[in-house]
Structure 1
Amino acid sequence: MDDIVIGIDLGTTTSCISVYAKGRIRILENDRGARVTPSFIYFPPEGGTVIGEYAKTMSLQKPENGIYKMKRLIGRQFDDTYIQKTLEYFPFVITSGISNFPVIYVKQNNTTIQKTPQQLCTIILQELKKYAEAKLNQIVNKVVITVPAYFNVTQREVTLAAAKDAGFTVLKLLNEPTAAALAYYFDNDITENHISLVYDLGGGTFDVAILQKKADNVEVLCVDGDCQLGGHDLDNCILNYIVEVLRKDYRYNAKIDPGAKRRLRNKCEEAKKDLSSANKALITINGMVPKHPRIIITLTRSVFEEKASKLFKKTIDILHNCLVESKISKQSIQEVILCGGSTRIPKIQKMISDYFGGKQLNNSIHPDECVAEGAALQAAMLSTSKKQDIELLEMVDVVPLSLGFGRLGREMLVIIRRNTKIPAKGSQIFINRDESHTSFSTGIYEGERTDVRKNRYLGKLSIDGLLPAPPEQLRVTFTLNIDSNGILTAKAEERLSNMVKEVKVNYTRGDKSEFEIKNSLLAAVENQETDKKFTKFVRIKQYLIQYLIRFLYNFDKQKLHYKSIKIFCEKTRYDLYDMEVEQEERVKNLYEEVKVKCYAIAKKHKFVYLPKEL
């Protein structure tokens, strides 16, 4: 039997399965005949698990046993600012587990069970696997799974691990906006060099991608987004409004009742959907508030738009930043493709259209299914099954921000530049400055500034236990590598000692929001002159430090006795490390002083390994 490869959109709110076979894309329905499945798990008190729409319904009885939005929790630390801010919105118990990762606690069979976000995603994927096998009438082991463009390395690895535990081999993690664009290009006859923008606002995440269709590939020119912005946050805007109305008008605090919050959230989700086609929605609350058996709250579209205005604007700001970063004008965008259920909101569509000067938006792809369809197309391209023969179309993703190491003087040494095609790899050789240099350590950074302290610190790469060697004789190769799934690995290698150190780095996101990181791009443009000044300053500083280290190396090797010169060199060397660009004149004076005091001695005694003069 053919080894069919399917595509899965493992969504924050809903999940969808698709397959490309015999020349067409097919959505695989779940056991209830629905084309999408809520990413919702309910743990009945008596045992077992229930998945999907029925799980949402059953959770009304015991809200603390209904788990949802687990995609927002995977790969994040418990003390992450986002998780801490959103704890109040979850009826279930979340605490810190191993290595500070979140753990969900549920009472079942008179005991308390623990589930990690990874285990919960595995449960969802296992259920989706059953649906696919039932519809295709065969075993399905291979899959392409979509993820938000800005999922970090930990989130990607957790997704891969969850899929493996569910019995899948993941052939590729495909970025969601790329998948949506692939679905669009498949359904439409697009000319070469066509540039489109995908605006993907789903239940839990937001992505923007600018893509260019070429002869035999689709190249991602730029990506941006926010992994903590989506329909769930819009629901929270409505929920906060309703809770405040109940508190103010009925003196009822819905926050203290998990069951009430669960029922209200369902009402808020329904109201949001209603407002996409109507100017007002009625939220009916039965049997919740004492002395008020039935309450009807009218929510107008204008009130909703006012409450959610900051979130709406944030998506436009991110869209704008994506265009600025890519240096592509609004006029160059030939198609704006909408993806994700939240793009049905009229205000969002109007804001996007207005941003592009009244441009007609493209609604030709199904907002809830297009990501899964794109995953199915990518799956067919990776499949060896004859049923899945398809014209190959290469998908080329890019690195969103430059990646590099910190070097002497706190300078950013860029190894992989932003918008480099993925997979990507870059290396740099570091050499020892003196014979006591038996270890190397450097920070790994993301950003566009020349001063590493103004970029985002990602982690540390160290290698030690190296054999002592004269200056410039010990060479360590530091490498950054991003694979096709967007996972960054940093490696240090010294061949003579056969020493290798490798770490996987959490590089795409962290405590900073996506908007903050994109502001770093604007900061780089606005501070070009400042950065040029810093580069000029750090070059002198680097030269002086290296010169003094090697001068002292020669000095000690030859056992010279210029005591005052040695004291001067040692003090100057250590003082230089902490000098900032504001002390540029002081550094220049030290440079002249070193020339006067040291150059003649170095020439007289034939010092070696000295750096070339500036």
Structure 2
Amino acid sequence: MSDLVIGIDLGTTNSCVAIFMNDKMKILEHNSGDRIVPSFIFFNTDGSVFIGEHAKNKADDEPKNGIYEMKRLVGRKYDDSLLQKSLKYFPFDVSADASNNPVVSFKQRRVTITKTPQELYTILLEELKKFTKDKLGEAVNKVVITVPAYFNVTQREVTLAAAKDAGFTVLKLQNEPTAAALAYYHDHDIHKTHRSLVYDLGGGTFDVAILEKRFNDIDVICVAGDTQLGGHDLDNLILDFVCKQLKSKYDYDASDKPDDKRRLRNKCEKAKKKLSVSDEASITINGMVPNKPQVKIPLTRKEFEKMADKFFQKTIDILDNCLKDSGFSKTSIQEVILCGGSTRIPKIQELVSKYFGGKQLNKFENPDECVAEGAALQAAMLSTSTRQHIEELKLVEVVPLSIGFDSLGNEMIFIIKRGSKLPVSASHTYVNLHDDETSFTLGVYEGERLDARKNRQLDSITINNVTPAPPGQREVEFTLSIDTNGILTAKATEKLRNNTKSLKVQYTTGGRSDREIKNSLLAAAENKINDEKFVRFVKFKRYLIKYCVSIMYNLEENDLLDSYEDIYDFCNSTKLTAQTLEMDEENRVKQLIQECERRCNSLVHTYDFDFMPQLG
């Protein structure tokens, strides 16, 4: 097997394969001759399968068997509102399986076939792998695949699983805007500290990233974006416009005819592309409207820009929020880099340039290919092949907010600190409270507040069948890890008998907008005094609960229940009361501590009680 590593941009609209080898960047052409391959699969009724441009053309005749935009299905539940919005434009059938996951249905040889988004991804990746072998003359199974910065853990894991099923070993999932920046920095000899903003508008997703380069280190400062905002949405705007024109001028309603909409969609996409180089275009429709062999619907660039104004402005708003949240000024951005096919639209370029005061924009000659080129550069850095030697640029991605778990009293225990570089792993030891505790659950939280309840709960992890032990004497190591693909794993291990529970947490480093991150940091700063007061309160509350539990344990272990049943009941009642007290009741907690110690300390000394907590 080859030791080469390729880069793949697995796009919503198109996919592209690139390799950096022998000091040259090469885009691998599909067998059809296309440098970029439509992410389109056509299942022929005779059982054959077509990929790419040929699949797209064949779907004009059998729309229900032509599958596209798989990326908008990946990692989502069927009832997801964003998925439901996309479904009204799909001519193919999408339904829910028993777990509420979307599945695509079509007919082959008169039999209904269903495919999951992962299986569709696998088919596409198998095709990319096949023509890679044809072009290079050797089978390549190692790859770097790009994903939107805002892909969550489920979407990333589906991508990894599909690649594995296609016979690939994924060395890294790389965020798309980071890949584009890597391609740009490789082509431009920049040695001093340099700050860039990447505006990446593709067929299905939009990302903004601000990166800072210091010599050979690239730091990802912040990202923002939308996984449901791209060129396909512009196609849908034109499609809606055409349907309204057909209804008003020819009394023909195509809006509820999936087959017609599929045929119209291709024409709308071509009109959109033409409007990037011309002031007007027309959508020519043959044989669709009764008694009208041919219908032409004109569309000017101004009309298109008016209908797409909210779409364009949304991308600028996301850009603006990202820049503000980074704390940088517009003038501190040396380069504005455009990538993604939709950045060819003149109005996009005008708005982005205007936002930066008329700044000249940096454009790739082929904006559809730059993400694949960045993936290929990352692939070369990870390759062991002498044919792929490259001066390494180190991409440094960091954890945007601290992650930890809630301890007794809801205090946040920070395990992975904000700003930690990926990959990262850290642990904390948790000790039991009760001697009869056979299981426990810890919540996993993200945020900077000292009260875990004020942070965002990501998930929870439960470990069962734990070993009985006296209060505070059984240790469980709680470990959080985030890998280079941005996937968070939580693991709890009981040290006494290596009883382990692992969990993949619903999280990704791009999962929160930079505005959310900034608001979280601002809330922590504004509430610093309250948070410090909370920690002081929790210290007393935790001590009180542990004190009561230890007294009850010692009374049981020393056969003193009959003699001191009133003390046992008092401690049990006090423990239950303490668990309900909040921060403004600190004086109440202190009073209960004094009462407990007054009634119990003589017993502690007389019978030499074990495992008594210390207030400190």
TM-score computed with the length of structure 2 as normaliser: 0.91
1:218 offset after TM fit, Å? 2.0
- Which residues in structure 2 correspond to 1:221-240 (within 5 Å)? 221-240=221-240
Counterparts of 2:529 and 2:50, CA distance in 1:
59
Q: Distance in 2 between matches of 1:366 and 1:65?
A: 31
Specify the alignment match of 1:554 in structure 2.
Answer: 551
Determine the structure 1 residue equivalent to 2:403: 403
- Equivalent residue, structure 2, for 1:417: 417
What is the match of residue 593 of structure 1? 591
Matches within 5 A, 1:62-211: 62-97=62-97, 99-211=99-211
* Larger mean Cα displacement after TM superposition, 12-21 or 227-236: 227-236
Q: 1:351 to 1:611 in 2, by over 3 A?
A: farther
Helix, strand or coil: the match of 1:422?
coil
CA–CA distance in 2 between the matches of 1:418 and 1:74? 29
Report what 1:383 is aligned to: 383
Match of 2:357 in 1: 357
After TM superposition, the structure 1 stretch with the greater mean CA deviation from structure 2, 557-566 or 227-236, is 557-566
Look up the equivalent residue of 1:431 and give its one-letter code. V
Whether the 8 Å contact between 2:235 and 2:265 is mirrored in structure 1 is yes
Candidates 517, 522, 527, aligned match of 1:525: 522
- Once the 2 structures are TM-superposed, how far is the Cα of residue 535 of structure 1 from its aligned partner? 5.2
CA shift, 1:534, in A, is: 4.8
Question: Matched residues in 1 for 2:79 and 2:235: separation?
Answer: 23
Q: Is the 8 A contact 1:433 1:550 kept in 2?
A: no
- The alignment status of 1:331 with 2:343, answered yes or no, reads no
Cα distance in structure 2, aligned partners of 1:102 and 1:229: 20
Shift of 1:61: 0.8
Unaligned runs of 5+ in 2: none
Q: In structure 1, what is the Cα distance between the partners aligned to 2:289 and 2:456?
A: 48
Report the counterpart of residue 28 of structure 2 in structure 1: 28
Please tell me whether the aligned partners of residues 2 and 386 of structure 1 are also in contact (alpha carbons under 8 angstroms): no
For 1:285 and 1:598, the matched residues in 2 are separated by 86
Query: Structure 2 matches for 1:302-313, cutoff 5 A?
Result: 302-313=302-313
> Is the 8 Å Cα contact of residues 543 and 614 (structure 2) preserved in structure 1?
no
Give the structure-1-normalised TM-score.
0.92
- Equivalent residues, number: 607
Match for residue 576 of structure 2? Answer: 574
Hey, what does 1:604 align to over in structure 2?
Answer: 602
Tell whether the 8 Å contact from 1:7 to 1:375 is kept in structure 2 after alignment.
Answer: yes
Q: Give distance in 2, aligned partners of 1:449 and 1:246.
A: 56
Deviation at 1:115, TM superposition (A): 0.9
Q: Distance in 2 between matches of 1:352 and 1:228?
A: 20
Query: Share of identical aligned residues, percent?
Result: 55
Structure 1: gaps of 5 or more residues: none
**SS of equivalent to 1:502:** strand
Instruction: Report SS of the residue matched to 1:342.
Output: helix
**Counterpart secondary structure, 1:460:** strand
Partners of 2:187 and 2:612 in 1: CA distance: 64
Residues 576 and 602 (structure 1 numbering): CA distance in 2 closer, same or farther, change over 3 Å? closer
Q: 1:8 is matched with which residue?
A: 8
Asked if residue 507 in structure 1 is aligned to residue 504 in structure 2, the reply is no
Instruction: Give the letter for the 2:537 counterpart.
Output: I
Distance 1:339 1:150 in 2: 17
How far residue 294 of structure 1 moved from its aligned partner, in angstroms, is: 3.2
SS at match of 2:485: coil
Deviation track 1:88-142 (CA, whole Å, cap 9, x = no partner) reads 1111111122533221111111101111111111111111112211111222222
* Amino acid in structure 1 at the alignment position of 2:433: R
Return the letter of the residue paired with 1:543: F
Aligned twin of 2:55: 55
Structure 2 letter corresponding to 1:589: N
Structure 1 residue 611: Cα displacement: 4.9
Q: CA shift at 1:541, angstroms?
A: 4.1
Structure 1 segments, 4+ long, off by >6 Å, are 560-565
Bigger shift: residues 536-545 or 378-387: 536-545
TM-aligned CA deviation for residue 565 of structure 1: 6.6
For 1:388 and 1:126, the matched residues in 2 are separated by 23
| More displaced 10-residue stretch of structure 1: 568-577 or 41-50 | 568-577
CA displacement, residues 491-516 of structure 1 (integer Å, 9 cap, x when unaligned): 00121121111111221299xx855x
Deviations 1:397-445 (A, max 9, x none): 2234433223334444332234422111122221112312332311223
Relative to structure 1, the CA distance from residue 539 to residue 88 in structure 2 (aligned partners, 3 Å threshold; closer, same or farther) is farther
| Aligned 8 A contact 1:422 1:484 in 2 | yes
Asked whether the equivalents of residues 544 and 573 of structure 1 are also in contact (C-alpha less than 8 Å), the reply is: no
Which secondary structure does the structure 1 equivalent of 2:595 belong to? helix
SS of the aligned residue for 2:465 comes to coil
Distance 1:556 1:140 in 2: 63
Mean alpha-carbon deviation: is it higher for 158-167 or for 116-125?
A: 158-167
Q: Secondary structure at the match of 1:30?
A: coil
Structure-2 separation of matches of 1:165 and 1:265: 31
Letter in 1 for 2:505: V
CA RMSD across the alignment: 2.6
Task: Give the CA deviation at 1:257.
Answer: 1.0
Task: List aligned pairs for 1:257-276, cutoff 5 A.
Answer: 257-276=257-276
Which aligned pairs between 1:430-509 and structure 2 lie closer than 5 A? Answer: 430-508=430-508
The answer to whether the 8 A contact 2:92-2:106 is kept is yes
Q: Which amino acid aligns with 1:574?
A: L
> Compared with structure 1, are the counterparts of its residues 483 and 251 closer, same or farther at alpha carbon in structure 2 (3 Å cutoff)?
same
Counterpart amino acid of residue 404 in structure 1: G
In 1, the alpha carbon distance for the partners of 2:312 and 2:77 equals 27
Q: Distance in 2 between matches of 1:449 and 1:83?
A: 34
User: Aligned equivalents of 1:418 and 1:339: distance in 2?
Assistant: 29
Shift of the alpha carbon at 1:598?
Answer: 1.9
Per-residue CA deviations over 1:375-395 (Å, capped at 9, x if unaligned) read 111111222222212222222
Letter in structure 2 aligned against 1:284: T
1:299 is paired with a residue whose SS is strand
Output one character per residue of 1:454-474: Cα deviation in whole Å (capped at 9) or x when no partner.
544322211121222222211
Partner-residue secondary structure (3-state), 1:469: coil
Structure 2 letter corresponding to 1:536: K
CA distance change for structure 1 residues 99 and 93 in 2, over 3 Å: closer, same or farther?
Answer: same
Partner SS, residue 322 of structure 1: helix
Shift of 1:29: 0.7
Q: CA deviation at 1:520?
A: 5.4
**Offset of residue 566 of structure 1:** 5.7
Structure-2 separation of matches of 1:383 and 1:588: 59
- Equivalents in 1 of 2:398, 2:92: separation in Å? 38
Residues 446 and 507, structure 1, Cα contact 8 Å, conserved in 2 = no
Counterpart of 2:533 (choices 532, 536, 545) is: 536
Q: Distance in 2 between matches of 1:23 and 1:392?
A: 13
Counterpart-to-counterpart distance in 1, 2:403 and 2:53: 42
d(CA) in 2 for partners of 1:434, 1:421: 37
The residue matched to 2:323 in structure 1 has which SS? helix
1:138 counterpart letter in structure 2: E
